[in-house]
Every structure is written in structure tokens, then in C-alpha cells.
Amino acid sequence: MKRIYSLVAFAVSVLFFTSCDDFMDVHKEYIEGGEIIYAPKPDSVNFIAGEGRILFNCRTYNAPNVRSVDVYWNDRLDSLIIPVELSTGYDSISVILDNMEEKSYTFNIQTTDNFGHKSLFVTSFGTSYGDTYRATLNDRGIKSLSLSDKEGTIEWYSAPLHLVRNEIRYIKNDGSQTTVKISSIDNLAKLPNVKPGSTFEYRSLYIPEEVAIDTFATAWKEYETPFPTEYKYDRSSWEVLSVSDVSTSEGDSSSITIPGSIDMKGRYLKLLLPDSNREPYTSVAEVYVYGK
């Protein structure tokens, strides 16, 4: 019986050492020359689109020995080695990659420490935009124009995707040119003191992605329809200065109502008319009311 137990124990030992040899053979190529030491890899990375460039953001954690952050693209044919001095805890860097051809990129990022150890790679993606993207952009549509004594108004159609704002260049009453910027969330553009009958130019500005470092503008374009040459005064600020005691028998003696709720029956009125072209001046007009 003891002999049987001895033979079983011997067989188990042989199998154990044989398995260990096979296990070591699998890992031998990875431990030749000693244990591999890795530098701490980036905690997180991202690439933000731009015009002919891309913004690289990198965040690290507990990497004070890291001396460079290494960025590779185009199958590692192109690279940027970024010298760094990082602190313990969380730290971050931001670097612009310039002169990037308009296309999408796959980036591989690793760190190198003071002892020459490399980290494992982190992979991320980014895109550079240019003239090809700009050629796809269209101006935001204009729905209507209107004019009052104080301002011109442009009503827009709904904003296209990724529109940031519109810019309008127009002529003021004094002949000078000015530019206003209108957010994409606004459907009305107010143009103070616009010259009646004048035309205007406009353009639309976009970003290619939800977050980007550059905007792309369409070419300035003159709108084919000018502002009206005539307009109605805004009567909300009119005041009744005085009312004559003279009545008339001419015409219908109907009553009318003006701001101030004063009924008139065929009388002369003096009205205070704000002159928007010469603020803060006003002018006084005498108006004869005939009826309706």
C-alpha cells in the first residue's frame, strides 16, 4: 500500500513540474531581461475639432515622474513628444496640434517617465475640418423684413444644426455701417436706426461638432430685398399736449381714441412725436381729426 501511495505522489509531482515548465514557456518572452515596468498611463484624453488643427487634452493621476506625453497618429508615422512636469494627484495639459490635414484621425497616446519606462497606449479619435466642410454650409433662411421709426427687424427661419450665430452688416441713418451678432436661439434680429430703403449683408457661423475650438463662416451675402422705404411710427409713446376749444361742423362728428383715452369730436390735436432719428429731440404735430 505504501508503495502505491509513493508512485501516485511521484506521478503528481512530475505532472506539476511539467505544467510549470509549460507555463513558464508561455511567459518566457515577456520576462526575458527582467520584469517590465510601465509608466503611469494617461487617466483620460480627448481631441477637440478645429480648422486645420486639433486641441489635445490629457489628464493624469499621480504621475510626478512622467517627463513626456507622446502622441502618435497616421500609423505612428507622425508624432508629437510633449515635455511635461506633472504633480501628484490629478494634473492636466492642453496642446494644439497644428497643420493637420482635413480628415479624421486615430491617436495613440503613451507617457515616458524619468527612467525611460513607457506606459501602455491609450487610443482616441479626433477630426480636423477645412474647406471641404465649409463648402457644405448654408445661410440661415430669412422669413421677413419690417421697419419702424426706431429699428429694422429681420425674422429668421429655424436655425440649422450646429449654427452658432448670424452676423448682419447694415447702414444706419447717419450713413455709417455697423455689424450686429444674433445668437442661433433668437428668431428676430433688431437693427437699431437702420436706414429706410437700404440693403444689408449677412452670414452664418457654424461649429462642425457639438464642441469645437473654431467657427466656420459662410461668405458675406447681400439680401436681395431692401428694407421698406416707409414705415409707421410706434405710437406707444405719443402724448396729447393740448386740445383746441374749436369744434367743427364739417364731416362726421364721430369720436376716436388715441393714447391717453381722450375722445375727440372734430378738433385739432397737438401730438408729441418722438423723432428717433434725432434722439432725444421730439417734434410737435397738429392733427385735425375728421372722424373715423
Mean pLDDT of 109-135: 97
Least confident of 123-132, 209-218, 260-269: 260-269
Q: Is the pLDDT of residue 193 over 90?
A: yes
Q: Is the pLDDT of residue 22 over 70?
A: no
Judge if pTM exceeds 0.75.
Answer: no
Provide the residue type at 206 as one letter. Y
Q: Is the pLDDT of residue 84 over 90?
A: yes
Ramachandran angles phi, psi of 43, nearest 5°: -70, -40
Provide the residue type at 68 as one letter. S
Rounded Cα distance between 247 and 188, Å, is 45
What single string gives the DSSP state of each residue in the chain? Answer: -HHHHHHHHHHHHHHHHHHHHHHHHHHHHHHTTS----PPPPSEEEEEEEES-EEEEEEEES-TTEEEEEEEETTTTEEEEEE--PPSSEEEEEEEE-S--SEEEEEEEEEEETTSPBPPPEEEEEEEE-HHHHTT--PPPEEEEEEBSSEEEEEE-PPPTTEEEEEEEEEBTTS-EEEEEEETT-SEEEEETBPTT--EEEEEEE-SSSSBS--EEPPPEE-SSPPPS--B--GGG-EEEEE-S----SS----EEETTTEEESS-EEEEEEE-GGGTT-EEEEEEE----
Q: 159-195 burial, b if ≥16 CB within 10 A, otherwise e?
A: beebbbbbbbbbbeeeeeeeebebebeeeebebebbb
CA separation, residue 179 to residues 5, 112, 190 (Å): 99, 50, 11
Contact indicator for 47, 124 with CB cutoff of 8 Å:
yes
Q: Is the pLDDT of residue 43 over 80?
A: yes
Contact indicator for 56, 96 with CB cutoff of 8 Å:
yes
pLDDT band at 36 (very low <50, low <70, confident <90, very high): confident
What cell was used for 150? 426706431
What cell was used for 152? 429694422
How many angstroms from the chain centroid is the CA of residue 281?
41
Question: What is the total residue count of the chain?
Answer: 292
Residue-wise pLDDT for 208-241, tens only, equals: 999 999 999 999 999 999 999 887 666 666 666 6
Residue-wise pLDDT for 194-204, tens only, equals: 999 999 999 99
Contact indicator for 145, 231 with CB cutoff of 8 Å:
no
Least confident of 16-20, 38-42, 114-118, 184-188: 16-20
Q: Is the pLDDT of residue 127 over 80?
A: yes
Rounded Cα distance between 197 and 216, Å, is 30
Q: Is the pLDDT of residue 260 over 60?
A: no
